[in-house]
């Protein structure tokens, strides 16, 4: 056994989160794609069966009250809140990330007022965020200004209505400076909107601490909610009375069952709702969040292990992969790193296919990026060593 494999064993033996792995349905595959789709928590199938067979099958319409269906978007939002550094009452769960980005950007422009005609967007962002921003700009008579996150402070001014940024770059795993960029947006009088898809559940976010205005995120990555599980929308408490949703549905009405022709928004986080929530996937997500209830399972502990895992992976890659065969795009500095490692490799698509055939699952990003996501709740150090060793064998 190699020195790195022995170290991996020792690190796993000392890992305070190692026991959480048993709460997931796993096999012998090294699963390093939790930044695309998290593994299945063992509590979910039984909970979903209860929702389908008893709550829907037996109680039927009564479950909106008796099973808590109606309050699920806010209740589950309050469970996500500590994972992103938010107090209760500021997060509502529902719809997709794209829909919530649309709500947030349009609401941000409306909050900023008519004198501000520019939406600043991360030019390297996940494509959908850019598409949504362009559409929101057309609808509100604004223009979009795409820049890199590093360029954001230099372009902000009295024309800036909103700034839309990703907390972690989905390609490279670079962690952007949320506190500093939020402060810069506020100094310019703009509204800060953050996409947390690649950070929530993997590292501390500090929404309240850093005064973030609006934030959105998905729940099927590091929160393990399942394929297509509902997204969430954060509206800072002090802005909730000014949050003017572009999608005013009956679920966000102050009197949802009043069926009034005139719209009056609900108070607080519920004004971010739109239509009838997707109960099956929402309650699967609620069950998935149970893994965070154990002793010692905190976002700080997850962050510490995430950095240790990615450090160890980079060390193993350096040891096992021939020099010059791959190039890491992920920053070495902990303050600039999310919970993934992206390696540039000329034949990345074929390499990832062969990795998957050998039981190491990551993903490929066009044109030349091998992407490996590290979910500390179920990924161990032996997984990391094995993945790098298999990669090295393919590239030798």
Provide the token pair at 141.
């008579």
The SS3 call for residue 345 is coil
d(CA 86, CA 93): 14
Average pLDDT, the chain: 97
Cβ(395)–Cβ(351) below 8 Å: yes
CB atoms within 10 A of CB 56: 16
Catalytically active residues, by annotation:
126, 195, 220-221, 371
* Cβ contacts of 65 within 8 Å, gap of 6 or more: none
Q: Classify burial at 319, counting beta carbons within 10 Å of its beta carbon; exposed 0-12, middle 13-18, buried 19 or more.
A: middle
Mean pLDDT to the nearest integer, 182-191: 98
Q: What pLDDT, in 10s, does the model give residues 89-109?
A: 999 999 999 999 999 999 999
| Residue 35 reports pLDDT greater than 90 | yes
Cβ(147)–Cβ(314) below 8 Å: no
- Strands 340-344 and 369-373, how do they pair? antiparallel
d(CA 3, CA 150): 40
The 10 Å CB-count burial string (b at 16+, else e) for 197-206 is bbbbbbbbbe
pLDDT bin (cut points 50, 70, 90) of residue 136 is: very high
pLDDT bin (cut points 50, 70, 90) of residue 1 is: confident
Q: What pLDDT, in 10s, does the model give residues 316-362?
A: 999 999 999 999 999 999 999 999 999 999 999 999 999 999 999 99
* Cβ contacts of 195 within 8 Å, gap of 6 or more: 97, 101, 125, 126, 129, 164, 165, 166, 167, 215, 216, 217
d(CA 52, CA 28): 31
| Residue 125 reports pLDDT greater than 90 | no
What pLDDT sits at residue 294? 87
Percent of the chain topping pLDDT 70: 100
Alpha-carbon distances of 260 from 65, 71, 252, 263, rounded to whole Å: 22, 21, 12, 7
What pLDDT sits at residue 302? 98
Cβ(198)–Cβ(166) below 8 Å: yes
Strand partners for 144:
119
Strand partners for 164:
121, 193
């Amino acid at each position: 056994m190699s020195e790195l494999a022995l170290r991996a064993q020792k690190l796993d033996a000392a890992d305070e989160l190692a026991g959480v792995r048993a709460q997931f349905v796993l096999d012998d595959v090294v699963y390093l794609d939790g930044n695309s789709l998290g593994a299945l928590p063992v509590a979910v199938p039984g909970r979903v069966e209860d929702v389908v067979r008893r709550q829907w099958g037996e109680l039927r319409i009564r479950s909106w009250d008796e099973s808590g269906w109606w309050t699920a978007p806010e209740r589950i939002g309050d469970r996500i809140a500590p994972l992103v550094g938010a107090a209760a009452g500021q997060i509502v769960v529902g719809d997709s990330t794209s829909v919530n980005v649309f709500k947030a950007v349009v609401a941000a422009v409306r909050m900023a007022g008519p004198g501000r005609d520019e939406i600043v967007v991360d030019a390297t962002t996940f494509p959908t965020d850019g598409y949504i921003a362009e559409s929101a700009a057309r609808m509100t008579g604004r223009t979009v200004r795409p820049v890199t996150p590093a360029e954001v402070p230099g372009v902000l001014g009295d024309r800036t209505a909103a700034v839309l940024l990703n907390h972690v770059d989905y390609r490279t795993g670079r962690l952007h400076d949320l506190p500093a960029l939020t402060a810069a947006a506020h100094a310019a009088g703009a509204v800060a909107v953050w996409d947390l898809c690649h950070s929530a559940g993997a590292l501390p976010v500090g929404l309240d601490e850093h005064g973030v205005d609006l934030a959105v995120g998905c729940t099927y990555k590091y929160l393990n909610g399942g394929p297509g599980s509902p997204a969430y929308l954060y509206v800072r408490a002090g802005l909730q009375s000014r949050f003017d949703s572009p999608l005013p549905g009956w679920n966000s009405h102050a009197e949802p069952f009043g069926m009034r022709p005139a719209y009056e928004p609900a108070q607080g986080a519920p004004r971010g709702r739109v239509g009838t929530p997707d109960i099956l996937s929402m309650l699967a997500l609620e069950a998935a969040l149970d893994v965070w209830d154990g002793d010692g399972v905190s976002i700080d502990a997850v962050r510490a292990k995430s950095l240790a895992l990615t450090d160890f992976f980079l060390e193993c890659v350096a040891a096992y992969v021939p020099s010059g065969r791959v190039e890491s795009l992920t920053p070495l500095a902990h303050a600039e790193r999310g919970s993934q490692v992206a390696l540039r490799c000329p034949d990345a698509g074929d390499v990832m296919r062969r990795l998957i055939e050998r039981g190491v699952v990551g993903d490929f990003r066009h044109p030349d990026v091998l992407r490996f996501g590290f979910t500390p709740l179920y990924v161990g150090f032996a997984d990391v060593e094995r993945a790098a060793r298999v990669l090295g064998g393919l590239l030798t």
